[in-house]
Structure 1
Amino acid sequence: MIQKPSNAFVGASWVALLAGMVAYNIGLWNATMQLNEKGYYFTILLYGLFAAVSLQKTVRDQLEGIPVTNIYYGLCWFATLSAVLLLSVGLWNAGLTLSEKGFYAMSFMLSLFAAIAVQKNTRDSRLVGNEPTTASEPPFNNLS
């Protein structure tokens, strides 16, 4: 049985997502690294967020009996793990202090976790009926 997420959990999820993303990007903005390095880390954040949300959706789809192809399921896992690996390799080889490396790693992981929680809350709210579907949209297709 799916329960509607509490307003406190929805709010905390959004705050965590925004805090992680904003902190990560403020860190990039203030960093003394070259612009191409900043672009690399920013792209990894976007890639990781998309991959984590997509993975959460495919796992949830499978649990609910919604067909998901094995290739897409595998690609979601690959994308999520590769985003974490690419960040790890980038930080390992970066000329940053350990505290800076830890800051980027923690804000990245907070953002990924929060993105999954926000997506889960959105889906649960729609399934419970918090957000009405349109007449042309089937109730269990294309859930965010």
Structure 2
Amino acid sequence: MNQYINKPTPAFVAASWVALLAGAAAYCIGLFNADMLLNEKGYYLILILYGLFASVSLQKIIRDKLEGTHVTHIYYGLCWASVAICIFLLAIGLFNANLALSEKGFYIMAFLLSLFGAVAVQKNIRDMEYLRQHNKTDHLELTSSTLPENKEH
């Protein structure tokens, strides 16, 4: 597939990392300071870890499909289902939690910011790796085609 990929700007790369780290840190600090039982904290911790993995997997599989890489329907469906399940379980957990509405909103926003950050960071890494590989290949092709032929005297 012939596709043009722009190099991510340093500002977007930085913003992506800030979104991921700020969202995950805020979520985890809030969880650490929360007045919850340890099993409740574990539930919310596993949700963010599963959510981060699911969102990165979904971004990768969507990108694979766009680039023409074969993707099985079952894995594609599992990626979408995993992201939906994470968000659904967070919503159900927070709906039933004995927390102030502002705390519930805090967890939702930190969770979604983390997922966005993870997707953006993974996209940037993939774009930069793609460009690095193609620039390396282009450089090698250019170098080998411009080298003088080896002649014996």
Q: Same fold (TM over 0.5)?
A: yes
- Taking the aligned partners of 2:110 and 2:103, their CA distance within structure 1 comes to 11
Partner amino acid, structure 1, of 2:5: I
In the alignment, is residue 118 of structure 1 matched against residue 118 of structure 2? no
Partner of 1:55: 58
Q: Deviations over 1:66-117 (max 9, x none)?
A: 1110000000000000000000000000000000000000000000011000
In the alignment, is residue 38 of structure 1 matched against residue 41 of structure 2? yes
Partner amino acid, structure 1, of 2:79: C
**How many residues of Structure 1 are paired with residues of Structure 2 in the alignment?**
133
Partner of 1:139: none
TM-score, reference length from structure 1: 0.89
Higher helix proportion (structure 1 or 2): 2
5+ residue gaps, structure 1: 134-144
In the alignment, is residue 9 of structure 1 matched against residue 15 of structure 2? no
TM-score, reference length from structure 2: 0.84
Shift of 1:118: 0.3
User: Structure 1 pair 41/125, CA: closer, same or farther in 2 (3 Å)?
Assistant: same
Bigger Cα Rg: 2
Shift of 1:131: 9.7
Per mean C-alpha deviation after superposition, the further-off stretch among 121-130 and 64-73 is: 121-130
Partner of 2:108: 105
Partner amino acid, structure 2, of 1:113: F
Q: Deviations over 1:20-56 (max 9, x none)?
A: 0000000000000100000000000000000000000
